[in-house]
Amino acid sequence: MKILQIIPSISLVYGGPSQMILGLCGALAREGQDVTIITTNANGDQGQAPLDVPLQCIVEEDGYKVIYFNCSPFRRYKFSVDLLRWLWAHCGDYDVAHIHALFSPVTTMAASICRQKGLPYILRPLGTLDPKDLQKKRGLKKIYGNLLEKPNLRGSFGVHFTSQQEADVSEDFGAGINRLIVPLGVEIPDRTIDDNFIYDRYNIPRGKPLLLFMSRIEPKKGLQFLIPALQRLLNQGYDFHFVLAGANPQDRSYEAQIKAQITSSNLSDCTTITGFVTGDDKEALLQKADLFLLLSFYENFGIAVVEAIAFSTPVLISDQVYIYQEIEKAKAGWICNLNEDDLVKQLMIALESDEERQQRGLNGLNLVKQNYSWSAIARQLIEIYKKN
């Protein structure tokens, strides 16, 4: 099949969605599919320079193709007239389109073009249909959703949700959508790197439980619960080291606020702030961590959680990370309610036993192998594409 993937940007500045689509397209290509991503050169909404990539030509990647288009006009909204012109001209070259993001003008218009040109498509909302997300700019989204996204939802042959909970809570503006539940995947590590370098590189002490937060530093990630909970653990005599790995190029002021909160507290002497990490640094931290932490207010999937358990690292997550039921059933970690007291309680339980953390880490790896390998997910999506 000739499969077209459409997304506003694949810059890593935008976090999980960009990372996900690259893994998906590589897996689809390995299953023998002809895959092309069309996207813009957007690289952040705070004045960052665009991606340094060739425009309007094929860039060969891991078995698939990427075509970048200049982000113009309305750079702030990752819009591209050139992308839409290309799509209008080339819709007939493809069998199916997979459109990632709602409430983004370029994907809204791309879906409209697919409808008009008769190219079957599915939509992946990236959590934008969650009632919590719809509360942001509520009035504008209600108008936008009913006027522009409702016809796109109704015209799709399915809407791709990444968890049952996301599908259950999501609004559809009365479009009567076909809800498709396909999780995201990760590459299961095929090597064990010599990760001891990470201690010296980031001045992390040996011999203490290593607690890791690795995600975008933004309000929805629950750091306002996590930081005071960790302070309480210290006050009760618990000994650990906390690593805050992440950044937020879209909101530097909030990132600075969180860092200042840590450095001015009793956490300052037992915390390492690494900034954004990739490659061997990222893998080493995931391998060395004794517990991975994500206390999001809502998370339509939680790709960072699956990455962690793929390294046999147990997790402690909130019950608003929408794969928490799978984590709980597999005993791959601990689940807490979104309040500080329950978080402290679950942290204490998780820190009680090295053996229990190790067992839950192994349970997590088995869960990834069973449910979250890219190859299995690619095959599942291919069957969906064929049914359009």
pLDDT beyond 90 at 49: no
Number of domains in the chain: 2
Nearest Cα residue to 300 out of 163, 178, 179:
163
Is there a single domain that holds both residue 180 and residue 251? Answer: no
What does R_g of the chain's alpha carbons equal in angstroms?
A: 21
Q: Which pLDDT score, from 0 to 100, does residue 174 have?
A: 94
pLDDT beyond 70 at 56: yes
Cα–Cα distances (Å) from 80 to 7, 9, 20, 246, in that order, read: 11, 11, 22, 29
pLDDT beyond 70 at 317: yes
Q: Which pLDDT score, from 0 to 100, does residue 48 have?
A: 80
What phi, psi does 250 have (nearest 5°)? -85, -20
Q: Which pLDDT score, from 0 to 100, does residue 72 have?
A: 83
Cβ neighbours around 361 below 10 Å, total? 22
H-helix or E-strand spanning residue 294: strand 291-294
Q: Is residue 365 part of a domain?
A: yes
Q: Comparing 388 with 100, which gets the higher pLDDT?
A: 100
Whether the CB-CB separation of 111 and 123 falls below 8 Å is answered with yes
Q: Is residue 191 part of a domain?
A: no
Q: Is residue 211 part of a domain?
A: yes
> Tokens in use for 291?
């517990």
Is there a single domain that holds both residue 208 and residue 294? Answer: yes
Q: What mean pLDDT comes out for the span 292-319?
A: 95
Q: What mean pLDDT comes out for the span 94-102?
A: 97
Per-residue confidence at 194, pLDDT binned at 50, 70, 90?
Answer: confident
Q: What is the CATH number of the domain that holds 61?
A: 3.40.50.2000
Whether the CB-CB separation of 211 and 242 falls below 8 Å is answered with yes
User: Cα–Cα–Cα angle for 319, 322, 323, nearest 5°?
Assistant: 100
pLDDT beyond 80 at 15: no
Q: What mean pLDDT comes out for the span 42-71?
A: 91
Q: Is residue 31 part of a domain?
A: yes
From 13-17, 251-255, 289-293, 345-349, the region with the lowest mean pLDDT: 13-17
Q: Which residues pair with 250 in a beta bridge?
A: none
In sequence order, the 6+-apart residues with CB closer than 8 A to the CB of 115 are 121, 151, 152, 155
Is there a single domain that holds both residue 142 and residue 153? Answer: yes
Is there a single domain that holds both residue 174 and residue 216? Answer: no
Is there a single domain that holds both residue 378 and residue 327? Answer: no
Q: Is residue 190 part of a domain?
A: no
Q: What mean pLDDT comes out for the span 159-165?
A: 95
Whether the CB-CB separation of 215 and 318 falls below 8 Å is answered with no
Is there a single domain that holds both residue 177 and residue 205? Answer: no
- The answer for 359, left when phi > 0, alpha when psi is -120 to 50, beta otherwise, is alpha
Per-residue model confidence as pLDDT tens digits over 21-36: 999 999 999 999 999 9
> What is the CA 131 to chain-centroid distance, rounded?
18
Report the distance separating Cα 206 and Cα 216, nearest Å: 26
Is there a single domain that holds both residue 250 and residue 380? Answer: no
DSSP 8-state assignment for residue 382: H
Average pLDDT, rounded, for the chain: 94
Q: Is residue 377 part of a domain?
A: yes
DSSP 8-state assignment for residue 148: I
Is there a single domain that holds both residue 221 and residue 308? Answer: yes
Is there a single domain that holds both residue 218 and residue 176? Answer: no
Per-residue model confidence as pLDDT tens digits over 263-287: 999 999 999 999 999 899 999 999 9
H-helix or E-strand spanning residue 155: helix 150-155
Q: What mean pLDDT comes out for the span 83-110?
A: 97
Task: Name the residue range of residue 130's domain.
Answer: 2-185+373-386
Is there a single domain that holds both residue 278 and residue 132? Answer: no
Q: Is residue 267 part of a domain?
A: yes
User: Rounded to two decimals, what is the model's pTM?
Assistant: 0.89
Q: Which pLDDT score, from 0 to 100, does residue 179 have?
A: 97
- What 3-state DSSP class applies to 241? strand
What phi, psi does 324 have (nearest 5°)? -60, -30
Is there a single domain that holds both residue 268 and residue 180? Answer: no
Q: Which pLDDT score, from 0 to 100, does residue 257 have?
A: 95
pLDDT beyond 70 at 74: no
Whether the CB-CB separation of 31 and 17 falls below 8 Å is answered with no
Q: Which pLDDT score, from 0 to 100, does residue 173 have?
A: 95
Q: What mean pLDDT comes out for the span 63-91?
A: 92
Q: Which residues pair with 245 in a beta bridge?
A: 214
Is there a single domain that holds both residue 16 and residue 50? Answer: yes
Q: Is residue 345 part of a domain?
A: yes
